[in-house]
Structure 1
């Protein structure tokens, strides 16, 4: 009887050219959606969306010194009020 090793099968599948291409295509799509969301909310600052690629993975990045605060919210340093996050990448990836 043949044995299929799950980890080996996942690794082999992840490295298939078609799978890598599909992952990159999806990252580009999320990146475009994130750029639209960021542009709609950008008041000032230098935040930008970048898409980077690994060997099999792709990454959509919100590049800014305050990226975490922009994405998930923060307490305003003067008023002390909570400023809601914009969920730029989370929303672009349809995770919320």
Structure 2
């Protein structure tokens, strides 16, 4: 019968495997593939060019991120969609008026690029 050890040299076995050179090379290659697909999907829908795809590196993992920090900070709405809502604004004279912001379906950029199922999280309410 084989014995499975929980640690190797005082380090957790899962961490030893995750930090293996071959595993890290595969993680990097897959991350790059997903990022390229996500960028292609985003380019098809980009209106003003504020959103972008970034790759972030952790200690072991890498992450493909949909960032909208340069735009309206709407990455969550871009991915999952949003419900319609009303915003109160003021004109230059201080008069208030309401603006209706329309509903938007999600683009599921990251889910599609990762070949993951498009799970509806419910549309985001911004009011």
Q: TM-score when scaled to structure 1?
A: 0.87
Q: Greater strand percent: which structure? A: 2
Corresponding pairs, count? 95
Q: 1:15 aligns with which of 16, 19, 36?
A: 19
Q: Distance in 2 between matches of 1:72 and 1:27?
A: 21
Structure 1: gaps of 5 or more residues: none
Q: Per chain length, whose mean CA-contact separation is higher, i.e. which structure has more relative contact order (CA < 8 Å, sep 6+)?
A: 1
Q: Distance in 2 between matches of 1:74 and 1:45?
A: 19
Report whether the alignment pairs 1:27 with 2:31.
yes
Structure 2: gaps of 5 or more residues: 86-99, 118-127
Q: Distance in 1 between matches of 2:32 and 2:84?
A: 32
Which stretches of structure 1, 4 residues or more, deviate above 4 A after TM superposition?
Answer: none
Indicate conservation of the 8 Å contact 1:34/1:89, yes or no.
yes
Report whether the alignment pairs 1:76 with 2:80.
no
The match for 2:108 is: 87
Secondary structure (helix, strand or coil) at the match of 2:12 reads helix
**Rg: which structure is higher?**
2
Q: Greater helix percent: which structure? A: 1
Change (3 A) 1:59 1:72: same
The match for 1:4 is: 5
Secondary structure (helix, strand or coil) at the match of 2:60 reads coil
Over the residues paired in the alignment, what is the CA RMSD in angstroms?
Answer: 2.0
